[in-house]
Chains A and B, each alone.
Chain A
Amino acid sequence: MQLFVQQVVLGLLIGGVYVAVAIGFSLVWGILNIVNLAHGALVIVGAYLTWLLFARARVDPFIALPIVAVVLFAFGYALQRALINRVIRAPLFFTLLLTFGVNLVIVNALLVIFKSDFRSVTPSYSGSGFGVAGVQVPYIRLAALGVAGLVAAAVGWLLNRTRTGAAIQAVGADRDAARLVGIDLRHVYALTFAVAAACAGVAGGLISTIQAITPTAGEPYTLQAFVVVVLGGLGRVGATVVGGLVFGLVETLGQTMVPGLGAGWANAIAFAILVLVLIVRPQGLMGRIA
Chain B
Amino acid sequence: MSASLPPSSSETIVVEGLRVLDRRRLRRLLLLAFALAAVLVLLAPLTATDQADSLGVPQLVDRSQIRILTTVAMFVVMASAWNLVGGLTGYSSFGNVAFFGLGAYTCAVAVDAHRLHLPMAVAIALAPLVPAAFAALVGLPLLRLRGHYFAIATLGTAVAVGEVVKNIDYLGGATGLFPPILHRADLLFLYLMVGAALLAVLVSRLILRSRFGYGLIAIRENEEAAGVIGVNTTAYKVGAFAVAAALTGLAGGVFALWNSFINQELGFSLDFNIQMILMAVLGGAGTLFGPVLGAVALELLIQNLAGRSDVAVYAQIGLGLLLAVTVIFLPRGIVAFFGGGSRLSLTHLRRSLRETSV
Which A residues form the contact surface with B (CB < 8 A)? 29, 33, 35, 83, 85-94, 96-98, 100-105, 107-109, 111-112, 175, 185-186, 189, 219, 223, 226-227, 230, 264-265, 267-268, 270-272, 274-275, 278-279, 282
Contacts and interface: CB of A to CB of B under 8 A. Distances in A.
B175 interface: no
A111 B157 CA distance: 29
Contacts of B274: 100
A265 B167 contact: yes
Interface stretch (B10-18, B202-210, B311-319): B311-319
Given A101-B321, A104-B319, A278-B149, A94 B157 contact: no
Nearest to B315: A108
A186 to B, nearest CB: 6
A264 B167 contact: yes
Contacts of B152: 35, 226, 230, 274, 278
B121 to A, nearest CB: 33
A264 B145 contact: no
Given A90-B356, A268-B167, A275 B156 contact: yes
Given A88-B356, A88-B357, A83 B328 contact: yes
A105 B324 CA distance: 10
A272 B160 contact: yes
Given A97-B323, A270-B160, 11 more contacts: A35-B148, A35-B151, A86-B357, A89-B356, A92-B151, A93-B281, A102-B324, A226-B152, A264-B163, A268-B163, A275-B141
Contacts of B314: 108, 112
A189 B358 CA distance: 9
A1 B13 CA distance: 89
B129 interface: no
A87 B328 contact: yes
Q: Which of A90, A97, A109, A282 has the most CB of B within 10 A?
A: A97
B291 interface: no
A278 B160 contact: no
B250 to A, nearest CB: 24
Q: Which of B86, B167, B356 has the most CB of A within 10 A?
A: B356
Interface string B23-63: 00000000000000000000000000000000000000000
B331 A90 contact: yes
Interface in B289-320: 313-314, 316-317, 319-320
B358 A103 contact: no
Contacts of A279: 141-142, 144-145, 153
B317 A98 contact: no
Nearest to B355: A89
20 contacts: A87-B328, A90-B331, A91-B331, A92-B147, A93-B86, A96-B94, A97-B327, A101-B320, A108-B314, A111-B313, A112-B317, A185-B358, A223-B155, A223-B156, A226-B156, A267-B159, A268-B164, A272-B160, A275-B157, A282-B149
Interface of A is mostly: helix
A87 B157 contact: no
B327 A105 contact: no
Contacts of A94: 281, 327, 331, 356
Contacts of B326: 97
A98 B358 contact: no
B247 to A, nearest CB: 20
Contact of B156 (A35, A89, A111, A274): A274
Given A275-B156, A278-B145, A97 B317 contact: no
Nearest to A229: B152
A93 B270 contact: no
B166 interface: yes
A209 to B, nearest CB: 27
A86 B328 contact: yes
A94 B156 CA distance: 19
Given A93-B92, A109-B317, A271-B160, A87 B148 contact: no
A282 B281 contact: no
A265 B264 CA distance: 13
B68 interface: no
Interface string B115-159: 000000000000000000000000001101101110111011101
B76 interface: no
Given A92-B148, A265-B163, A105 B356 contact: no
Contacts of A271: 156-157, 159-160, 163
A105 B322 CA distance: 10
Given A87-B328, A100-B274, A267-B159, A112 B148 contact: no
A175 B160 CA distance: 36
B198 to A, nearest CB: 27
In the A-B complex, the 6 residue pairs with the closest CB atoms? A101-B323, A104-B320, A268-B163, A271-B160, A105-B320, A271-B156
Nearest to B164: A268
B111 interface: no
A111 B87 CA distance: 34
Contacts of B357: 85-89
A104 B323 contact: yes
A227 B153 CA distance: 10
A88 B148 CA distance: 14
B262 interface: no
Given A189-B358, A271-B163, A98 B147 contact: no
Nearest to A83: B324
Contacts of B281: 93-94, 97
